[in-house]
Amino acid sequence: MTNLFQSVVQSTRGRFFGVTFVKADGSLRKMTCRIGVSKHASGRGLKYNPTERGNVIVWDTSVKSYRTIKLDRLISLRFSGKEIFFQ
């Protein structure tokens, strides 16, 4: 699933997409986001490699902040009029 999700996300090429996943507290979250946003980065970078931990870093458009999506909690991804289910 990790490779499939990452290839689908990379195919968005920075365009908006939607995801549904289970948050750490067990609640369901729907988010519209994008990858490749660097305008608001601090320049320090992360202190860990998100890919090694099974995470993807995205820009959440509703709160205008970076968010981490845990791939093992992913339910679906919506892009270009299609929805892919992972569970």
**pLDDT per residue as tens digits for the range 22-32:** 999 999 999 99
Q: Could you give the CA distance from residue 55 to residue 5 in angstroms, rounded to a whole number?
A: 11
SS3 27: coil
CA 66, CA 9: separation in Å to the nearest integer? 16
Q: What is the pTM of this model?
A: 0.77
Q: Which residues does residue 69 pair with via DSSP β-bridges, in sequence order?
A: 56
How far are the Cα atoms of 30, 44, 80 from residue 63, in angstroms, in the given order? 12, 21, 22
Report the number of distinct structural domains present in the chain: 1
Residue range 7-18: average pLDDT? 76
80: containing domain:
2-40+47-85
Q: Has residue 2 got a pLDDT over 60?
A: no
